Amino acid sequence: MARGGLDRLLGLALGLLLALALAPGALRAKPTVRKERVVRPDSELGERPPEDNQSFQYDHEAFLGKEDSKTFDQLTSEESKERLGKIVDRIDSDGDSFVTTEELKTWIKRVQKRYIYDNVAKVWKDYDRDKDDKISWEEYKQATYGYYLGNPTEFQDTSDHHTFKKMLPRDERRFKAADLNGDQTATREEFTAFLHPEEFEHMKEIVVLETLEDIDKNGDGFVDQDEYIADMFSHEENGPEPDWVLSEREQFNEFRDLNKDGKLDKDEIRHWILPQDYDHAQAEARHLVYESDKNKDEKLTKEEILENWNMFVGSQATNYGEDLTKNHDEL
């Protein structure tokens, strides 16, 4: 990188932006509104609205993805059915001409996670400097921290120095956790796990550990109630706490602090931010099968799906269906 003033500032800005993207919360100013820490694996798929049996909007967003479901209002019903038929062929992973609840659940989960793979595809070339379709830790480190490592004197006694000094080993630890074969090089799937650890089972401990480190300001290895609240809310001078903060204090005492010792350990943090109580994709898959299964054999034929096409794609189709004609393999 050139050492000119403008290049130096741009390099620093890029490094900070990358650092922010890879360590959410690390540099963020204290919020004055509630922050959501709970990780939802199907993060684009929320609760079904109580009254959605007419518009099928929730079904469309679950089956196609939120953004794609908005863009498909230009096709006729016949065009929609044709593209839906191609999607059904992709969902039927074992090729037995039936779509099971499990196959539909898998599809919905992949659609909902597609955004993370799109994100990785966008940044891949910035890190894969030698174009070998892998990203080594050294490549990532140089792309993200190269300017800092090459010019350490410029960061002495600054908050940037503290930030980079903290984040570099944290990123290296996360990279090693994502690197399943330990070769210090990430495949696309491993790099996806690095950038989006909340989406991968083997990265859940890293998510818990980073959450603990973010919130545990006194460094005792636990999160007490004040630290828990401070992560969500910044007090105004002498200002009263909003009602939701008082409610969160009650939540901490009654539901977060399971052993009632006044603080959260790693297990309690895991229970809080990685709830295992409800699988939205499973519930939606069961719903779609139930509503479309005419002969009640608990699986769907292509004909049954196309007969109820408006529940899956409505009067809209999806440019995801359009993508299928291009033989994309991301999903």
Tell me the three-class secondary structure of 11-44, residue by residue. HHHHHHHHHHHHCCCCCCCCCCCCCCCCCCCCCC
Note the pLDDT of residue 47. Answer: 54
Q: Which amino acid, one-letter code, is at 324?
A: L
Note the pLDDT of residue 19. Answer: 43
Domain residue ranges of the chain, discontinuous segments joined by +: 73-222+265-314
Note the pLDDT of residue 270. Answer: 94
Burial bucket for residue 178 (CB in 10 Å: 0-12, 13-18, 19+): buried
Q: Which two tokens stand for residue 324?
A: 């299928």
pTM, entire model:
0.64
Note the pLDDT of residue 324. Answer: 39
Count of Cβ atoms closer than 10 Å to residue 138 Cβ: 11
User: Closest Cα to residue 12, out of 121, 159, 136?
Assistant: 159
Percentages helix, strand, coil for the chain (3-state, rounded to 5) are: 60, 5, 40
Determine the Cα–Cα distance for residues 86 and 75; give it in Å rounded to an integer: 15
Phi, psi of 217 (to 5 degrees): -75, -25
Per-residue pLDDT of the chain (331 residues; tens, 9 = 90+): 433 433 433 443 444 444 444 443 333 333 334 456 766 555 455 555 544 444 577 677 777 666 666 555 566 778 888 888 989 999 999 999 999 999 999 998 888 788 788 889 999 999 999 999 999 999 999 999 998 888 887 777 667 766 888 899 999 999 999 999 999 999 999 999 999 998 899 999 999 999 999 999 999 999 999 999 999 888 766 678 889 999 999 999 999 999 999 999 999 999 999 887 667 788 889 999 999 999 999 999 999 999 998 888 753 323 333 343 344 444 4
Phi, psi of 33 (to 5 degrees): -125, 170
